[in-house]
Copies of this chain bind each other. A is one copy, B any other.
Amino acid sequence: MDARTYMQQVGRQAREASHATARASTAEKDTALLAMAAAIREHRGELLAANAADVAEARANGLDAAMTDRLTLTDKGVEAMALGLEQVAALPDPIGEITDMKRRPSGIQVGKMRVPLGVVGIIYEARPNVTADAAALCLKSGNAAILRGGKEALRCNQAIAACVRAGLVAAGLPETAVQVIETTDREAVGHLVAMPEYVDVIVPRGGKGLIERISKEARVPVIKHLDGNCHVYVDDAADPTKALNILENSKTQRLGTCNTAESLLIARSVAVSLAPTLCNMLIARGVEIRGCEETRKLVPQAVAASDEDYYAEYLAAIISVKVVADVGEAIAHINKYSSQHTDAIVTENYTNAMRFLREVDSASVMVNASTRFADGFEYGLGAEIGISTDKFHARGPVGLDGLTSQKWIVLGNGEVRS
């Protein structure tokens, strides 16, 4: 079977199964998730053996160390997958929730009911645990799922898929509710993202290259997550201790995450007193400072920042620094250079805080808090499908609700329109 025919068949089966997952009760979905967790624990040996074969082949093909590391599944990793499934089972079921009911002058009551999107396609790279994780999030939100993992992880993903199917069958749900693509044909992805009749949304989880390729080829909506070039702006009215703590945490708690600060802006009136303190703290933690001319006068160790530095997502021990006139220039700079992920102001001034919140056009905007808080779990979503840098549908950390829609419901008593 060629890739197109195969993907059409997978799509048709997913669409069919999505009616059952949409109808499924909370108990059925949770039963399936708990049975998947049990199957994963039970088949731990097979999962590890399949993964070992994947890793061996990847090594033989010269896969780099970082990729091999992401590909490798350990005993602890198997247990984490099972626990993840159990945690999703414990989350409240978003489907069927009725909200915003209002009585209208005509007598009808109008409101909304939360419903699944239908079929979710998830495309990811080496990490095999995403297979269980994505299956759980799609099922709990009442969707059918088509999962396409990295070709390096094929054996392990198929072993996990067998556990997922066992869980679905145990709960009386169709085993096609979660399908893990069996072909490694690169063309399959192109077909998956271009079947609006069978797939309602695509969630790519991986590097920028993957996401850009998919966004370009997709003929269905994509929940996409591009760069995180996050800013901390230290305002004229900043509390110096808060500024120091927030900058330290935002930049140095973890260097490689998308909510790590990559740029520091300082208001001119406090630059003389604060720029050396803030920058010396970073330098002491091994961070290279790339600054504007004013910064370099105040911080001799700083090297000159180019315009590209202000656009950069370093994901490394480097930060760009710029002295700005005031909150207005900070907002303008952020709206030009930021990737609209997460930006924070440190200030005690109410008006500057409100203006920053309102005018910075990013998915998360913060006052006196570390950019590192931009995260589905920290926000209380219970789970995270990804972080959206789009404005349409879902923005910022996306929880189960991001895989749902709301339909209108009308409760009447025989009313007609006049």
- B-contacting residues of A (Cβ < 8 Å)? 19, 22-23, 96, 102, 104, 106, 108, 110, 113, 115, 117-118, 200-201, 221, 239, 241-242, 245-246, 248-250, 253, 335, 344, 357-359, 361-370, 372-374, 378-380, 391-393, 395-397, 405-417
13 A/B residue pairs, CB under 8 Å, sorted by A: A104-B380, A106-B373, A108-B369, A113-B358, A253-B417, A364-B410, A368-B414, A369-B413, A370-B417, A374-B408, A374-B410, A392-B392, A395-B405
A325 to chain B, nearest CB (A): 18
| A118–B367 CB distance below 8 A | no
Contact B391 A200 (CB under 8 A): yes
Which residues does chain B contribute within 8 Å of A118, judged by CB atoms?
391
Contacting pair A410 B365 (CB below 8 A): yes
Which of B363, B368, B414 lies in contact with A412, CB distance below 8 A?
A: B368
A358 CA / B115 CA spacing, docked (Å): 8
Q: CA–CA, A409 to B104, complex, Å?
A: 32
Contacts of A365 in B (CB 8 A): 113, 407-410
**Which interface residue of A22, A96, A392 has the most chain B CB atoms within 10 A?**
A392
Say yes or no: A412 contacts B380, CB within 8 Å: no
For the A-B complex with A104-B379, A113-B365, A395-B406 known, give 4 more contacts whose Cβ atoms are closer than 8 Å. Answer: A113-B357, A200-B392, A357-B409, A364-B408
Known contacts A113-B357, A373-B410, A380-B102; is-contact A391 B405 (Cβ 8 Å)? yes
Q: Give A340's nearest chain B residue, CB to CB.
A: B407
> Do B335 and A378 touch across chains, with their CB atoms under 8 A apart?
no
Say yes or no: A241 contacts B414, CB within 8 Å. yes
